[in-house]
Amino acid sequence: CEAIRYSLPEETESGYLLANLAKDLGLRVGELATRGARMHFKGNKQLLQLDVKTGDLLVYEKLDREVLCRGTDPCILHFQLLLENPVQIFQTDLQLTDINDHSPEFPDGEMLLRIPENVQPGMVFPLKTAQDFDIGHNTIQNYTISPKVHFHIVTHNSGDNGKMVCSIENDLPFLLKPTFKNFYTLVTEGPLDRESRDEYNITITVSDMGTPRLKTEHNITVQVSDVNDNAPAFSQTSYTLLVPENNSPGLHIGTVSATDRDSGTNAQITYSLLPPQEGDQDPQLALASLLSIHADSGQLFALRALDYEALRAFEFRVGAADRGSPALSSQALVRVLVLDANDHAPFVLYPPHNASTPCTELLPRAAEPGYLLTKVVAVDGDSGRNAWLSFQLLQASEPGLFSVWAHNGEVRTARLLSERDAPRHRLLVLVQDNGEPPLSASVTLHVLLVDGFSQPYLPVAEGARDPAPPDALTVYLVIALASVSSLF
């Protein structure tokens, strides 16, 4: 005969009245007892209890569909009712319907994913699937990614479950994408930049559509790995270094510094001196003989002593290259200014030094106080305050007769001459610069007092010498003589 079918939601409490089996079989009350009715279950596990006196069929214990049917759908339990006198066998089926008693589950609570920062939008990364032991609307129906990063996720079910639904929050570059039967993939939705953000913590929420609605969360850590997409950047586009002249060889004169936003070997920087280029200020500069640079630290060292009077300033370029593949690099301009040191004493141009025939200045006895006798002219090879010169009368054979102006070296009479003044005088003039420490030179002036002479006397050389190329000292001397001549 045709089997009698019953339906019961899983997890129904023990003692629940399922049906009156005697009535459903068309038997009289008490007939089950008189005919020795008993029930036989597959696997010999008692699932239901029969009251032979009343014919009521009761739930013996809670029935778990996922345990009894192990994923089989529909879940139908078969059992038999056995009667004696006469022998009869009735087939009975019990269908357990699903309730939403299982949350979706992931095999692992967390997942680590490493993605290079130069990955193109749309790149797919497979992820592990979630499982839900329930069926129908009680199984997985919805995947949600939070927060929305540069990825997205879309999921897909088959059969009664239908298509999964995705929702996106915030504005970050990830998306979930459907594959097959609750399998999903993570898809890049926008460009990644490790230097802006090197890690994303994504929470994927999976929920079913049962009542009550159950959900679970899956954490994914996305680590963005570095690629060499940033060139080193100098802290300054140009550097100005001040170096005192006469420095000791090997002197550390300054440091250039660059940083790289990448990481690892992509951020390791090597510094170098670049050869002069066309258009540079000093294209013929022998840079390798002047300076060296430490490849790792960017420290610059002077290889030899610099001379301000020979080389006052020079420029060159330094390079910073990373160790990525391919390597990226940048340049910076370095200006070196050599600072003057007081290493030159004043040099007296006039009166000229001539031990054999010293120059003698003629002074009229009728000269008024303040009469300009001569002018000491001197130069200094240094610059700035190191070349500022002052003049001082150190010694005089007749104190109080002559004075020397401190700033221009003019030698003048301080009073009227008298008959008692000696006809010859000797003056020692000191010329001193303003350096630290100050350097000086001295010159001796010979003065001869004459009667009836009022014009300056300038000795003329007996014969003209062969012409020779003028040097710096000759130029200074000509200027000095012209200056002295203009005063008289």
Number of domains in the chain: 4
465 occurs within a structural domain: no
pLDDT band at 145 (very low <50, low <70, confident <90, very high): low
Q: Do residues 89 and 145 share a domain?
A: no
Cα(395)–Cα(381) distance, rounded to whole angstroms?
26
381 close to 309: Cβ distance less than 8 angstroms: yes
User: Could you tell me if residue 397 is left (phi over 0), alpha (psi between -120 and 50 degrees) or otherwise beta?
Assistant: alpha
Q: Do residues 146 and 135 share a domain?
A: yes
Please report which helix (H) or strand (E) contains residue 472, including its range: helix 472-487
User: Could you tell me if residue 254 is left (phi over 0), alpha (psi between -120 and 50 degrees) or otherwise beta?
Assistant: left
Is residue 167's pLDDT more than 50?
no
- 212 or 181, which is more confident: 212
Round the average pLDDT of the chain to a whole number and report it.
Answer: 81
**Which pLDDT tens digit goes with each residue over 302-357?**
999 999 999 999 999 999 999 999 999 999 999 999 999 999 999 999 998 876 67
Structure confidence at residue 477 (pLDDT): 46
Q: Give the burial class of 278: count Cβ atoms within 10 A of its Cβ; 0-12 exposed, 13-18 middle, 19 or more buried.
A: exposed
Q: Do residues 82 and 119 share a domain?
A: no
Report the share of the chain in percent with pLDDT over 70. 76
Structure confidence at residue 92 (pLDDT): 87
CB atoms within 10 A of CB 330: 17
Q: Do residues 355 and 475 share a domain?
A: yes
Q: Do residues 331 and 352 share a domain?
A: no
Structure confidence at residue 475 (pLDDT): 47
Q: Do residues 165 and 204 share a domain?
A: yes
214 close to 262: Cβ distance less than 8 angstroms: no
Q: Do residues 170 and 271 share a domain?
A: no
Question: Nearest-CA neighbor of 436 among 310, 343, 347?
Answer: 343
371 occurs within a structural domain: yes
Q: Do residues 418 and 324 share a domain?
A: no
376 occurs within a structural domain: yes
Whole-model pTM: value is 0.61
Range of the domain at 108: 100-225
476 occurs within a structural domain: yes
Q: Could you say which of 172, 202, 225 is where a domain stops?
A: 225
pLDDT band at 437 (very low <50, low <70, confident <90, very high): very high
Q: Do residues 111 and 197 share a domain?
A: yes
Q: Could you say which of 37, 71, 97 is where a domain stops?
A: 97
What residues are paired with 57 via a beta bridge?
A: 19, 50
pLDDT band at 216 (very low <50, low <70, confident <90, very high): confident
Q: Do residues 359 and 445 share a domain?
A: yes
Q: Do residues 142 and 60 share a domain?
A: no
Q: Could you say which of 97, 130, 148 is where a domain stops?
A: 97
- Assign residue 281 the CATH number of its domain: 2.60.40.60
CB atoms within 10 A of CB 427: 23
193 occurs within a structural domain: yes
Q: Do residues 56 and 113 share a domain?
A: no
Question: Nearest-CA neighbor of 241 among 335, 175, 319, 324?
Answer: 335
466 occurs within a structural domain: no
314 occurs within a structural domain: yes
Structure confidence at residue 138 (pLDDT): 55
Question: Nearest-CA neighbor of 405 among 393, 417, 388, 415?
Answer: 393
Cα(147)–Cα(135) distance, rounded to whole angstroms?
29
450 occurs within a structural domain: yes
